[in-house]
Every structure is written in structure tokens, then in C-alpha cells.
Amino acid sequence: MPAILMPLPVTHRPVGAHVLPLAGSRHVGWSAVAPGGALDDAARARLSDRRADLCGLTLDVPRLMGILNVTPDSFSDGGLLDGVAGALERARVMARQADILDIGGESTRPGATPVPVAEEIARTVPVIRAIRDAGIATPISIDTRNAAVARAALDAGADMVNDVSALTHDPDMAAVVAEAGVPVCLMHAQGDPQTMQNDPRYGDVLAEVMDFLAARVEAATAAGIARDRIVIDPGIGFGKTAAHNITLLQGLAAFHGLGLPVLLGASRKRFIGTITGVDRAADRVAGSVAVALHAAAQGAQILRVHDVSETRQALSMWQALAGDNQGGADGA
Ligand code: HH2
């Protein structure tokens, strides 16, 4: 693995000779005057180039992925939705401000027990069908590690797959994604949900997570998944201590070096409780919004959140303050 390139993100500054867009962002640039030598053209392009559209969405502004868990046991919103009608109502509200709806039928919180595939399909597919039957056209991602669930969800109207195992859990998953020609999010996790928070360890968490994602991107493309349909995610909270999560968030911009859109899911997670002392996951909204704004300022393209309307409000203000850097003159 070559040395990690750490672009220094800058906002409030027009793009010009010395400030290039970070990963195609309209709001975030990076200083291309590298201390200690020039970057080669390929590395510069990977850090700056505009990412391919995802599910019809341009990725030059941060996009919100609203979480719709149809599970009895998710860590913060499990058991809240009353059947298909309840989930549809929540989807209708979320779709007013979310760019993508992420529907999950299996909790992957620390200590969660796996759900039989038939049960996961029975939880998610009727909700996806109901959303489509109601004429809600917002792109839907299916949050699953299982190929049969992904296939059933795509047949019912889902548009992309969000796999927290980065195609390692089910040997058939890569083929399902490749055949369907849909985007996929590859997320890093250390261990599986049941045991992942039992003393997670890394030598260099940022380098190891980047190495893992680079290898999974290679495996996905080798399985026939187009590179421009792959999204990467450092997997906040998946086999990580609060200190590991903070290191990954501080270094988030480095992930743009892989040349792919970055998704971040930190919403209401335990490390926010550890740092703030807020015990109840549903009360961690303000902390979650702070992390979302930090991720936006690091050029993350997709923010996976429970509290769509609060995050949208904060993001709208951040976007107004950050300005639109595209096509501006040099900042001199
Ligand atoms: N986090 C969770 C689930 N899916 N997918 C991606 N890509 N990134 C994440 O960080 C991520 C994810 C866990 O959060 P949640 O869905 O709220 O809880 P649960 O797994 O208990 O349903």
C-alpha cells in the first residue's frame, strides 16, 4: 500500500489554480499544492474528479440517505414502525427530504443475532412494493448481506444494494449485484455483528480500513461489477472503538484517494453517546448532525441518517455558508 495521501479539505474558497474540487464537490476543495512534492496526475484525478451519478443523483453535493429499519430490534429505531402501513407513512415523510431510502430488515447492531433470510424478505419486500405502488419514486437501497434478499428487493423496486459485509457474507451476492447492474455500497467491518465490539484492535486503523476497501473494490470489479457503480464506507461502529471512529472521521478525506463516492453512517451510534454522555440513541440527534456536517466538509457524498429533516436543515445552512465553488476564479 503506498503512503496515504491526506488531502486537506477547504471550504469557503473558490476553486482556482491552487484549490481543486475534492471528489467533484461543489462545496469542498483541496489544496493541490502538496507539501513535499508534486502529486502524479492519476492521484490528482482520483482526488478531484467528479464521481459518476448514482441512481440518477449527481454527487457534487452531499446526499442524504434516510434509514428505514423494518426490524423489531434495531439499536435506535427498532420496533417503531407499525407494519407495512407504518413503514409506508414514514417513507412518505422521509422522501420529502431524503435523496435515497435505505431499507433494512436485519439489525447489524453489536450483539445482534442473524435473521432467517425468509424473514428478512418478508419484512422488507412488502414495504418496497408499497412505496413503489404509492408512486414514491425516491431511489431505494436494500441494506442486506444476503443475496436472496437483495434479489427479491431489486425485483420489488429497489435500486441499489448496501452490504455491510462488502460482499463477504454471501458468496452469491457479487453475482446478484453484477447481473442486476445496480450500484453497491461496500462497507468495512471487523468481525461480525455478534462479536465485533469485543475488543477491536488495529495497528493503523485508517490504513487498514483503506486497504480492506481497496481489496474489496478489486474483488467486486473482478466479479463483474462496474467500478463506477461502487460506493465505499469506512463502517463507523463496526468493530471499532470510539477512538477508532474518531481517527477514521478525522482522516475521512483520505478515502477519496480510492476515487469512489464515500458513504458515511454515524447516525445515533454508540461512540456519540460515549463522547457526549447521552445514553439514549434517539437523543443523539445533535451529535449526529455535528458528525454529518464534519463528513460533508470532508467531501463525503452520501450521509446515512435517521433524522433526515434535522440533518437536511443543518446541511442546507452548511451548503449556503460553504458557497458554490464550481467555476469560480482563483481565490487570490
Ligand atoms: N450502519 C448500520 C446499518 N447499515 N450501512 C452502511 N453502509 N453504513 C453504516 O454505517 C451502517 C449501515 C447500523 O445502523 P442502523 O441501521 O441504524 O442499526 P441496526 O443495524 O441496528 O438496524
Q: What percent of the chain has pLDDT over 90?
A: 77
CA of residue 114 to ligand 1 center, whole Å: 14
187 ligand 1 Cβ < 6 A: yes
- What pLDDT does residue 1 have? 60
Question: What b/e sequence results for 303-320 when a residue is b if at least 16 CB atoms lie within 10 Å of its CB, and e otherwise?
Answer: bbbbbbebbbebbeebbe
CA angle 268, 302, 245 (to 5 degrees): 45
| Least confident interval from 12-16, 59-63, 135-139, 185-189 | 12-16
Distance separating alpha carbons of residues 232 and 260, to the nearest angstrom: 7
Distance separating alpha carbons of residues 87 and 171, to the nearest angstrom: 30
Once rounded to an integer, what is the mean pLDDT over residues 46-61?
97
233 ligand 1 Cβ < 6 A: yes
CA of residue 255 to ligand 1 center, whole Å: 19
Once rounded to an integer, what is the mean pLDDT over residues 168-187?
98
Kindly tell me if the per-residue pLDDT of 103 is higher than 90: yes
Residue nearest to atom 11 of ligand 1 (CA): 265
Once rounded to an integer, what is the mean pLDDT over residues 86-91?
95
CA of residue 31 to ligand 1 center, whole Å: 33
68, 75, 252, 285, best to mutate for ligand 1 pocket (most atoms within 8 Å of CB): 75
- Looking at the annotation, which residues are catalytic? 269, 304
Instruction: Provide the whole-model pTM.
Output: 0.94
255 ligand 1 Cβ < 6 A: no
Q: Using only the alpha carbons of the chain, give its radius of gyration.
A: 19
CA angle 95, 23, 97 (to 5 degrees): 10
Q: What percent of the chain has pLDDT over 70?
A: 91
213 ligand 1 Cβ < 6 A: no
- What pLDDT does residue 81 have? 63
pLDDT digits (tens, 9 = 90+) for 55-65: 999 999 999 99
Kindly tell me if the per-residue pLDDT of 41 is higher than 80: yes
Residue nearest to atom 21 of ligand 1 (CA): 74
- What pLDDT does residue 242 have? 97
185 ligand 1 Cβ < 6 A: yes
CB 68 within 8 A of CB 127: yes
124 ligand 1 Cβ < 6 A: no
CA of residue 239 to ligand 1 center, whole Å: 13
288 ligand 1 Cβ < 6 A: no
CA of residue 294 to ligand 1 center, whole Å: 19
